[in-house]
Structure 1
Amino acid sequence: MTALVLIGPMGAGKTSIGRKVAKALGVSFFDTDIAVVRAHGPIEDIFSIQGEARFRALERAAVEEGLQTGGVVSLGGGAVLDAQTRADLAHHRVVLLTVEPHVVAGRIRDTERPLLQAEDAAARWLEIYTARRPLYEDLADVTFDTSSGPLQHVVEAIATWARSTDKET
């Protein structure tokens, strides 16, 4: 089963857009971060108690589950760091959601995201995005920016693109 996979940096809207795209296409929605939290508790607790490596292992298992489920699958921002995940994505349609740094600053304010627990969360976000951007761009079949305009426009554009690629979602 081929999934429509949303990748991109933290705060790009993968969860909210993914839910709406799945609804528009009439398919299931799976979010790897939500799956990890549901099964193992808050991500920030996993990071602080068990470490990032343990979180990445749990995330990898959630990615496998999501890709097997099909439909629309939203990956956590760092899921693409895993080589097996990158290899698996070659068999799916991959949508990169981007967001401008000045826009994401408002979205991540007062965040509990473990990797953004720095004095300047926006600067840390940019550092992480800059490091991961080549992976995102290499994996993506298409890119949509979520920085401006109603997110519904992005949802409609992704749904239209997904229908035009006409693989089973």
Structure 2
Amino acid sequence: MPSKEFDTLPNIYLVGPMGAGKTTVGRHLAEVLGREFLDSDHEIERRTGATIPWIFEKEGEIGFRSRETIVLDDLTSRRDLVLATGGGVVTQPANRSYLKTRGVVVYLYTPVELQLQRTYRDKNRPLLQVENPEQRLRDLLKLRDPLYRDVAHHIIETNQGAARELAQQILRVILSSGSH
């Protein structure tokens, strides 16, 4: 049974690069809090009836980002939610505003080497379907890391501990900071 002290917590939004563990950690965090867990990428697929690679192929990244902003606006308007976001969500100013003003944002910082380990077989990541996925991850992190840091209320390094431990660490950091 979740503690009453969790009732006052705002929504928690997890941001970070692909392979950071946002979905896995988010599920554990939602379970501890007794809250609904959603993944914005899964929600986009559910609402469109199409996979993200298909949307990228047919509409390009611009079309996908437009859909992502609409879904994010809706999801961040809900209450009692833990939300894992797509890696590129921070590239759109409107998304950064929704995240930062409607809940507590936690950046799951993950080194490129670990991202590569976690994503190298995943064909469901359109931005990694290139000749040199490691270089693509380095380029994306270089562009997005300042945006993740700008939107984040807290930064957690994911190279230490399992998902369940990271969820507990996130909760401790949020509770001790008074971000609620």
TM-score (norm 2): 0.87
Following the alignment from structure 2 to structure 1, what is the Cα–Cα distance between the partners of residues 164 and 40?
A: 22
- Conserved? CA contact 1:47–1:55, under 8 Å: yes
> Counterpart of 2:42?
34
Following the alignment from structure 2 to structure 1, what is the Cα–Cα distance between the partners of residues 45 and 151?
A: 25
> Counterpart of 1:67?
76
Following the alignment from structure 1 to structure 2, what is the Cα–Cα distance between the partners of residues 74 and 14?
A: 5
- Conserved? CA contact 1:96–1:142, under 8 Å: yes
Classify 1:90/1:148 alpha carbon distance in 2 versus 1 (closer, same or farther; 3 Å): closer
Q: Which moved more, 1:66-75 or 1:93-102?
A: 66-75
Q: Which moved more, 1:42-51 or 1:83-92?
A: 83-92
Alignment of 1:11-160 (within 5 A): 11-40=19-48, 41-70=50-79, 71-91=81-101, 92-112=103-123, 113-160=125-172
Following the alignment from structure 2 to structure 1, what is the Cα–Cα distance between the partners of residues 132 and 46?
A: 29
- Conserved? CA contact 1:2–1:67, under 8 Å: no
Aligned length: 167
- Conserved? CA contact 1:4–1:162, under 8 Å: no
Following the alignment from structure 1 to structure 2, what is the Cα–Cα distance between the partners of residues 88 and 9?
A: 18
Following the alignment from structure 1 to structure 2, what is the Cα–Cα distance between the partners of residues 104 and 87?
A: 26
Residue 98 of structure 1 aligns with an amino acid whose one-letter code is: Y
Deviation for aligned residue 1:77: 0.7
SS of the equivalent of 1:149 reads: coil
- Conserved? CA contact 1:95–1:144, under 8 Å: yes
- Conserved? CA contact 2:72–2:98, under 8 Å: no
Following the alignment from structure 1 to structure 2, what is the Cα–Cα distance between the partners of residues 19 and 75?
A: 12
TM-score (norm 1): 0.92
Deviation for aligned residue 1:68: 1.4
Deviation for aligned residue 1:166: 6.0
Following the alignment from structure 2 to structure 1, what is the Cα–Cα distance between the partners of residues 85 and 28?
A: 15
Following the alignment from structure 1 to structure 2, what is the Cα–Cα distance between the partners of residues 23 and 75?
A: 17
Aligned sequence identity (%)? 32
Where in structure 2 are there 5+ consecutive unaligned residues? 1-8
Q: Which moved more, 1:63-72 or 1:43-52?
A: 63-72
Residue 86 of structure 2 aligns with an amino acid whose one-letter code is: G
- Conserved? CA contact 1:101–1:126, under 8 Å: yes
Residue 30 of structure 2 aligns with an amino acid whose one-letter code is: A
User: Following superposition, which runs of at least 4 residues in structure 1 exceed 4 angstroms of deviation?
Assistant: none
Please, what is the CA RMSD of the aligned residues?
1.5
Deviation for aligned residue 1:111: 2.1
Following the alignment from structure 1 to structure 2, what is the Cα–Cα distance between the partners of residues 59 and 166?
A: 26
